[in-house]
Amino acid sequence: MLSELKFAQIDELLSITNDKGNTPILSLVELGQHESLAELLQHIENETDLDIITYLEQHNYYDQNILHLAALSLSLDSIYDVLQDYVGCLKLEEMMYPDKYGNTPIHYVAAKYDTKVFADFMLHLSLPKRQKITDLPNSQLVDCRNIIYQKTFSESFYLRQVLADDKHSSLATKFEFYGLIRKDCKQQLTHPENFYKYDETILKVLKYCLNEYSLLDSAYTTSHSLFLATVCQQNSGQKDTGSAEDLQLIVIDTINVEESKQETVQSVLNEMNVYNGKPKMAVIRSSVKEADLNLIPPGPDYLILSVKYKKDDYTRNPAPDIEKHEFLPSLISEFSCDPDVQKVSVNSTLNKRYIRNDDGEERATGHDKEGRLVDGKISQLLGHRIQKEVGQKIGKAFIICNQHEDSKYGVERKKALKNANAVLKEYFDFEVEVKYDLSAEEMLSSISEFSRSEGHGSMAALTILSHGYQRNIMGADNQSLCSVQEVVDSFNTGNVQNIPKLVFLSYCRGGIPPQFNRTPHSFESSAKFPWPERGPSEPNYQPLKKFIDSSLISRELGRHSTLPPLDVPVDCYIMFSTLPDSKSKPGLMFKCLSEHLRDLTSDYRSKLLTPATSSSDDITEQTDRQMSTDDSVLPDERKDKPVMRVNLLDLLTDVAGIMRDTSRSTQYANLCYTVDRNSQQIFIDIFKPSSESK
């Protein structure tokens, strides 16, 4: 029949709407008629000059587009298989808005526990958009976390909390007037619990897509008893790091370790690396009288907490009780708020946020003004907002860019410099100073001069883009070297000494090239992860299958098994562009950082949280929630106004996770910082670049 019609007649036919506002294409999707849908789309594409995407992006009177209706369809997988050929051409991010009931397509897919489509939808979105949608409540105040944490399909929950339907008692009565529903779908209406079954993999996908790792959920089979019982007793020659199926936690009191302590403790950390792809946490306790150890995380997914006590006879408690902790910062808070602790140093290559799984329920945490334990809970440290005077910059930033005219690396170095400048000047609102091609001696003297200069605000930043050799930073002369400790000491002087410091170091720290997947046994590297078959429209982040030979790591560690201790000042945050044993991919760190900040500050908020039309009076403004942002600062187009406030460590950790994904698990950032009992979590305002800077 269609072949006999002219293009104008076909266009008119495809634009007809029923009483719900559904076009013929939307109706076929809603009714699950995937064969007819495929035939119709194929005819439009092959036999006409009509723009098929225009019809696929339409929506009905309930603000439901083809993705909403596909997710609601009784033939979700079959319908989505038909749409797969067109997904790459759709403005998919813009189509993930809530409908009349406050549900995005992801809400509906999550409610059916369809892991494959859920992963495909999420992986088409940037990290900020995934986070926003996941925590976006619908009209019944239910978000995607609540839905997935149900861990079982309930017909009444689906009807009332997801579909917002209190008129029907069952799906069969709700859809009984659909005479055109496929016969093989009608059984889903009478026994939906047999078709929509919870799949634990969807929880793992959720954690991966949000850059989260839950300490207690079954997605990673973390052992609670391991946290309570695991202690490394070096003096008895015994150590317990748990089974390969558990998160690895080890506690070492260096007073019990015989000489040489550096080599012995480092050896224990290296042995933990056999649990590839699983998080490894090491708590190293020592007194201020003992020599500092510079422990190197042998790979990704390590967290090393070095706790310095003020006296030798400190209380040697067993492993931390994780039941008291809501998230990872509270673990650090437990140590740093101890009056006997001088400071806590963090060396992390985790690249993921670590939080408790609370099954979607809100928890009230009691804490005092210093973040100590109250009523059996440990709170996170109180937040400290980096303030700036109106019309003034947040502070001063110094960038050293070496080899920017180099024939081999010059182009990448200039791109990195451009991104670094945009991040510090436009997004963070620093006053930026740049110097080029300095020797090691010139770098140290310039940094010291910068720190002693006047005009520093409430925070200072330092960035070095250069080559590296023997784990030191190389000067532009390709001969002179300076250590990271020398850089940090030069920076932590003068007017910078007593304000928070942010340091970005992009240089090669070792000899392992960036072409290996260092976590081949992680969940996202396994065959169980439902990566899209055709890949999303953006680059496919699926990890490489090229795994590193353990002998290569051993040789690298053998060449440089120890380093002088790195003493990081309190409230100084260092982000290395790579692991201590690896080469650095030029420009990747600032590329990921600038793109992440662009996504955070883009105009997607209005597109994401507002339906396609405002014709319905039933739609109310949705609450915009995100774990790491403080939305007391809302988007404002006025000059010198931040668009949001973010937790600095959350920001850096998310960027580290994005680096890991975009490099397909071949590059991993390394975060180092030090806190004491007076430290607070830092919240930094993020600004939207002016149109001129874009």
CATH tag, 2-196: 1.25.40.20
Enumerate the β-bridge partners of residue 303: 281, 348
119: pLDDT strictly greater than 90: yes
More confident site: 205 or 564: 205
Structure-token match 């909403």, residue found: 68
Contacts for 74-77 with beta carbons within 8 Å, 24 or more apart? Answer: 74/32, 74/175, 74/181, 74/182, 74/185, 74/188, 74/189, 75/32, 75/33, 75/34, 75/182, 75/185, 76/109, 76/112, 76/114, 76/117, 77/114, 77/116, 77/117
Q: What's the gap between Cα 687 and its chain centre? A: 20
- What is the number of residues in the chain? 694
Per-residue pLDDT tens for 462-520? 999 999 998 899 999 999 999 999 999 999 999 999 999 999 999 999 889 988 998 88
The ranges assigned to domains in the chain are 2-196, 218-267+274-361, 395-515+555-594+622-686
Per-residue pLDDT tens for 620-676? 333 333 334 444 444 444 456 788 899 999 999 999 999 999 999 999 999 999 998
Q: Give the single-character DSSP code of 69.
A: H
Q: What is the mean pLDDT of residues 116-136?
A: 94
Nearest in space to 80 (alpha carbons), one of 104, 116, 108: 116
Give the integer Cα–Cα distance in Å for 103 and 97.
8
166: pLDDT strictly greater than 60: yes
HEC string of 446-515 equals: HHHHHHHCCCCCCEEEEEEECCEECCEEECCCCCCEECHHHHHHHHCCHHHCCCCEEEEEECCCCCECCC
* Range 395-515+555-594+622-686 has CATH code 3.40.630.30: no
Per-residue pLDDT tens for 429-473? 999 999 999 999 999 999 999 999 999 999 999 999 999 998 899
pLDDT of residue 211: 93
